[in-house]
Amino acid sequence: MLLHTPVLLHEVCSFLDSESKLIVDCTLGHGWHAAALLALAKNVKLIGIDVDEHMMNTAKEILKSYANRIRYVHGNYADIKDILRWKKADFILNDLGVNLEHFKAVERGFSIRWMAPLDMRFDTTQATTAADIVNKYSIDQLQNIFEIYADFSSPKALELAQHIVTTRKQKPIITTHDFKAILNECGLGDKACTVIFQSLRIETNKEMDNLKTFLSAFPETLNSGWRCLVITYHSIEDRLVKQAFNELVDTRKYKLVTKKPIKPNYKEVAANRASRSAKLRIIERI
């Protein structure tokens, strides 16, 4: 099994107070951030949330030595208030990165490299797949996805959307290769196709909507004097986090722990290219 490498692990751990009582890992993944945090704070309990049940099963194996200190939640971090109920956390970590396993699991349809169903769901119990979106969304809806999430120009995004709608009238778009062929016909190479696939994944999983909900909800779940950390990888994600954190600071009830986002050093980027766009922002409730 190919395991995901946790991003900014040392930096995340450096901001944990060993006296913390409750950690919430909003995107548990394989559990490597969680394992490091549990090892540092010997008396801490951890709530691990993940929408991907398969990912959580892997984490349970990796974290089995900490089983009595972890509560696993198959759910979405956007629902953090409902998950914690009356409890408040001392340390909230939300790593918004996609696990490498998603791209290596051919059958899940995240990658442009292999023929697979055009799925892209993190939560496989969710109804809507990426194929549903490309086969049912209007031209305007598709154009908006490619403009907003892929940063394509309006004319090019419109061209892609129109070609998708024209093609699906002849036959449904079912596989990753069906979709990639349409993009290739519009002049897109592999790099641009990857960006379009990413934008479709973001829409399929409502990633930006979930982040907005989380950013409005987490302040009610954070204890005074404690911290929330968010790792972003996309410019829109980072902009949303920066804006939300600044608005909290304006209330004078929160402070930024670092004025600028923390980025991976050159050694980490050399060892793990997936980390190169990561930005860590940290806020503390006063």
Q: Which residue, 82, 95, 96, 94, is CA-closest to 221? A: 82
Q: How many CA atoms lie within 13 A of 252 on its CB side?
A: 0
At 2 the pLDDT is 47
pTM of the model: 0.93
Q: Is the pLDDT of residue 106 over 80?
A: no
For 234-270, what is each residue's pLDDT tens digit? 999 999 999 999 999 999 999 999 999 999 999 999 9
Domains, the chain, with CATH or none: 9-101+209-285 (3.40.50.150), 127-204 (1.10.150.170)
At 1 the pLDDT is 44
- Give the C-alpha separation, 277 to 33, whole Å: 18
φ/ψ of 229, rounded to 5, equals: -120, 135
Confidence of residue 4 (pLDDT cuts 50, 70, 90): low
Q: Is the pLDDT of residue 204 over 90?
A: yes
At 216 the pLDDT is 98
